[in-house]
Amino acid sequence: MIDNDQQDRELTPIEREAHAWVRRLTSGHASAADGAALREWCSRNPGNAAAFSEASQFWTALGSAGRSLREDAGAQKRGPASRRHGVVTTRRAVLAGALAASAAGVMIVRPPLELWPSLSELRADYRTGPGEQRQISLADEVSVQMDSKTSLAVAPAGGAAGVELIAGQASFKLPEQGVAPFRVIAGQGRSSAVKAHFDIRLAGTSVCVTCLSHQVDIDYRGQRAVLQERQQVFYGERGLGAVATIDPAVVSAWQTGLLIFNMTPLREVIDELNRYRSGRIILLASRMAGSPVKGRFRIDRPDEALAQIQRAFDVERRDLPGGIVLLS
């Protein structure tokens, strides 16, 4: 395990500040003000932007080159090319000038490994952190339950009633006496309903819409589908999928504080657990990605679920700063 104090002693003051920004962003408590402050810090001089870009790229490297983290500590000796924190870097490799500022800006807009909220998430009207759920009420008695790591933006005044789901998952319950449609934009699609109760989840470019009562109309790039109670559909890069029948108790289990998996591939279970904790779990043992998992876990105890998975699949766990966990 890499020790934070030892890690910081190896860094310059600017690099320590850059890594402190990364730790702040991965804490799950970053705000829009933090995002603005970070952008201001990066714009002060090229060195700040370069240091933040390098610190961010370290976490990116974990996903594609995690094997380097298992090398001997002796490989971290200083030299013209230093192996810092298990990732090879050189002073000449550090971005400079406007290029560094641009790279740092990209890291803020599109965070590596989704380790922290994107700029659009930080600017959302409503947002929840890791493990946090929130109940909100919108105009016209629309009730919304937000899951962990979820961001919502309210439709501009004067437009049709609705919201944009920027990230995460939310359940929408519309009033029985409603007459006007309520719309939810998620990804490049739109869901519209009157009186319905429905659930939408956005993960990357994939969107899942589930109808729990009444009817939901889906429009994805001109393709349309109509969901009735107990029906679900996915849309994304592969287009609009086929409508499927689901068990509402499983789909809405998160609203009661549970995660229910029924022969779910391990990679999907890991993705789900990542929504309820700070940092990132990275499955390096790709051979196990498709292994089925069955069980019920409490969403407020994701590390207990992780420990059970570790024992069940006999994988080696390595904890790193920033809530990073490697499973190999």
Q: Which residue has the tokens 């714009």?
A: 43
In angstroms, rounded to a whole number, what is the distance separating the alpha carbons of residues 153 and 130?
A: 18
Q: Do residues 192 and 217 both lie within one domain? A: yes
pLDDT of residue 146: 96
Q: Do residues 114 and 10 both lie within one domain? A: yes
Q: Do residues 41 and 153 both lie within one domain? A: no
* Structural domain ending residue among the three candidates 221, 251, 281: 251
Q: Token digits for 91? A: 């002073």
Q: Do residues 30 and 71 both lie within one domain? A: yes
Q: Do residues 155 and 223 both lie within one domain? A: yes
Q: Do residues 144 and 182 both lie within one domain? A: yes
Tell me, yes or no, if the pTM score tops 0.85. no
Stretches where the chain sits below pLDDT 50 are 1-9, 62-106, 109, 157-158
Q: Do residues 163 and 268 both lie within one domain? A: no
* Structural domain ending residue among the three candidates 102, 122, 142: 122
Query: Where residue 197 sits, what CATH number does that domain have?
Result: 2.60.120.1440
Q: Do residues 11 and 32 both lie within one domain? A: yes
In angstroms, rounded to a whole number, what is the distance separating the alpha carbons of residues 133 and 254?
A: 9
Q: Do residues 164 and 240 both lie within one domain? A: yes
* 93, 121, 134, 148 from 199: Cα distances, Å: 45, 19, 15, 14
* Structural domain ending residue among the three candidates 205, 221, 251: 251
Supply the range of the domain harboring residue 68: 4-122
Domain total of the chain: 3
> What would the pLDDT profile of 144-171 be if each residue is shown by its tens digit?
999 998 999 997 644 668 999 999 999 9
User: Looking at residue 278, what DSSP letter applies?
Assistant: S
Query: Where residue 267 sits, what CATH number does that domain have?
Result: 3.55.50.30
Q: Do residues 108 and 135 both lie within one domain? A: no
> What would the pLDDT profile of 281-307 be if each residue is shown by its tens digit?
888 877 888 999 998 999 999 889 999
Radius of gyration, alpha carbons of the chain:
22
Q: Do residues 156 and 201 both lie within one domain? A: yes
Q: Do residues 46 and 62 both lie within one domain? A: yes
